[in-house]
Amino acid sequence: MSKEPTNISYVNQEILRHYKLLLGSKSPRRQMLLKELGLRYQLVEIEVEETYPPHLREAEIAEYLCELKADAFDSKLLTHDSILVTADTIVWLEGKYIGKPAGRNEAIAMLRQLSGKPHSVYSGICLRSASRKTVFCAHTRVTFRELASDEINYYVDQYKPFDKAGSYGIQDWIGYIGVSGIEGCYYNVMGFPVQLFYDKLTRFIEESLKDKMLNT
């Protein structure tokens, strides 16, 4: 006789309801995606210089930077039912790190580099509670068709993507008309791999609950 499937999503939501997430990110896209997941969260300010050791590459950079942000948060503000969430997204093209553009000219130059080529997007996420911490990363490969100069100029002038790694948002106009291929999580390119985050958060909480049971 076959067993009825367990409603894991419902169980997870019940567990998650007892925790408060502290989101250390100013990204409106990450805030939107957390809200769409139905998770309650509070925004927290984290000021840190986003620099990394020069020997790091690809996923290592994203993981290092998200953990750097988490470690900069005052641990005294972490309560028994709170979990800090920090994230960092980078673009990697032909062996080079591409971050956020400093202004219009740099944004245009970045998009010209990405035009007609595949590149990698890495989003590192750090979960930190009063008693544990975990870091993980998602990878997506994105390909742009050849972009015309007037398309690049129009996008930069109209959308001003200066807060976005690689100088573009896949959910914007440039993504509609320019992205010819994607391998991996779409939301990762937006800066937050939702499915991976949900799985890791659930496991993080379950392991935390096990620790509490063992210590009581």
Tally the C-alpha atoms within 13 A of residue 2's C-alpha that lie toward its C-beta. Answer: 3
CB 100 within 8 A of CB 157: no
Exposed, middle or buried, 157 (CB in 10 Å: 0-12/13-18/19+)? exposed
- Clarify whether 157 is annotated catalytic: no
User: How far is the first Cα of the chain from the last one, in angstroms, to the nearest whole number?
Assistant: 38
Q: Which amino acid is at 192?
A: F
Enter the tokens of residue 205. Answer: 């909480």
Q: Which amino acid is at 207?
A: E
Q: Which of the following is catalytic: 88, 150, 157, 163?
A: 88
Catalytic positions, written as ranges = 88
